[in-house]
A and B are shown apart, each in its own frame.
Chain A
Amino acid sequence: MSDSDRLAPLSVTGLHKSYGHHAVLADLNLSVEPGSFVCIVGPSGAGKTTLLRCLSGLLAPTSGSVRYGDRPVNQPLAEIAVVFQDYRGSLLPWMRVRDNVAFPLEGRGVSRSARRARADECLAAVGLPGVGDKYPWQLSGGMQQRVAIARGLAYDAAVLLMDEPFGSVDAQARFDLEDLVLRLRRDLGITVIVVTHDIDEAVYLGDRVIVLGGQPATVIDNLTVDLGQDRDQIHTRALPRFAELRTRVLTRIRGGAAAPDPAPPAQLDVSRT
């Protein structure tokens, strides 16, 4: 498959999803450009996970469409890897860490030695060299989520879809994982979509933050995060612009009108390219 087929925008058009008579998502439109980092944020029960499952092809929309490039996403695609919130359930406890990471490759008929090499490479990329022979349940929560990310990388997808990926780990591990994902995106040029309820996390990570709201949920705001590519936990979060953006997202989630986006301070314009 050519690279232009592999790297394509993921677009959602007029997406509706109902469970029986209960509508969860309505008339939802969004588009994610290749190589971008998009955070989808919304309150609990807003249908974030439903949206992610539609994006990943695990769930069929009631109407409307999800497309990757010009192909419909009506089943999981080889270009999209999913990292689930529940790492405990999503890593297979009867397989060693290395086998877990390499498992999707086994389905593609990759040879045993190539699988092994690739798994070790991906484990090293997430900062876990040398744990391949352990079982997932011998690792801490943060480390298990790193293994899940390594599996996504080994799958060699162009898009990494993450559902509340850091929701179940402690705060310190969470910061490390956020920076890890930022670094992976920068190094590998992959598209990352993170679904989260954490506004600070969404602003810290994303190039763009898409706010879901309403009952049934739809996109109520879509803002560009002009904080540049180089972010760090201490300074980025202390920027006045960071505070402005998080205030805007929070206001929207709380049901307020979109305040006009204040012009960013001049010194930040440089990084806005």
Chain B
Amino acid sequence: MSRTFLVSALNQLWLPVLVIVLLWVGTAGSTNFYFPPFGDMVGAMGANLAHGGLLEDLWFSLKNILAGLGLAIVVGVLAGLIIGEHRRLRESLGPVLDFARATPTVAFVPVIILTLGIGATPKIFLIFLGSLWPILLNTISGVEGINPAVLETARSYRIPWQLRLRRVILPGATPQIVAGVRVALSVAVVLMVVSEIYGSPVGLGNFILRSGSSFAVTDTWGGTLLIGLLGYGLSVVLLAVEHVLLGWYFQRPPRVRRNTQGLALLEREALTR
């Protein structure tokens, strides 16, 4: 196991390392004002983190995205389980959900700032709102997609509804719920930045806006890099959680798995329309 793990890790690492080295070396002599050397960007990021207040911005942003996404997961999964379980509810809510999903959440920014002001609450709310739809819709279709034989079994063995929800419906829908969360995460990062660019005195989005408008381009690049790292770090965490939750799913022979990655991609396309 350790040997294959090592090979796989090396196989995944060589390209990122190569890209970083190429960037570092290739841009080292850059005198372009707008594209400073990559090394300077990393340096600026480090310096700002250490004593430029960037750590505070990062913390503010991280708190918001975790709160918004966490809230969206709780609400989206609970509502999705209930809606997915009731065909009539699903049918009558369908058009509303499609409309809500098709409206870009960014369009709500002005209204949200007007109503909720410029503190952390409107940011959390915006991230929550944007992340909710992919999670909710994926949960609903995950519940719908549960093998009828599974439900029939639960019925014939008289499994009470709470137990059925917790041990049958929820785990059965989890592969697709996780796919929904994956999409929601990328939406959440976008909304985090946007929410801090408009009407915010603090946060990573505000940092790049502030440094950009004062022509501290290296700092701006440093902040952008940090946002990328934040998004990447969160998706790595999610991947780890996924493998803990879905051990049974990934170890099964591939022919019996549903292709949730494909579904997630479709979902993403729908969102970015």
Contacts and interface: CB of A to CB of B under 8 A. Distances in A.
Chief secondary structure at chain B's binding surface = helix
A89 B150 contact: yes
Nearest to B162: A107
Given A92-B168, A92-B171, A137-B256, A84 B149 contact: yes
Contact of A76 (B158, B168, B171): B158
Contacts of B155: 58, 76
A84 B256 CA distance: 18
A107 B159 contact: yes
A24 interface: no
Contacts of A126: none
Contacts of A103: 157, 159, 167
B248 A86 contact: no
Contact of B157 (A76, A88, A94, A137): A76
Contacts of B174: 94
A137 B253 contact: yes
Given A94-B172, A106-B163, A78 B158 contact: yes
Interface in A128-148: 135, 137
Q: Size band of the B side of the interface?
A: 20 to 34
A106 B253 CA distance: 28
Contacts of B29: none
Interface string B152-185: 1101111110010001100110100000000000
Given A94-B172, A103-B159, A107-B158, A84 B249 contact: no
Interface residues of A, number: 25
B252 A137 contact: yes
A78 B152 CA distance: 15
Contacts of A58: 152, 155-156
Contacts of A76: 155-158
Given A107-B163, A137-B253, A93 B158 contact: no
Nearest to B168: A92
Interface string A88-111: 111011110000000110110000
A81 interface: yes
B248 A93 contact: yes
A179 to B, nearest CB: 25
A82 B150 contact: no
B171 to A, nearest CB: 4
A82 B147 CA distance: 17
Given A80-B156, A84-B152, 17 more contacts: A58-B156, A82-B156, A82-B157, A88-B149, A89-B147, A89-B153, A90-B153, A92-B168, A92-B172, A93-B252, A94-B172, A94-B174, A104-B159, A107-B160, A135-B251, A137-B256, A155-B157
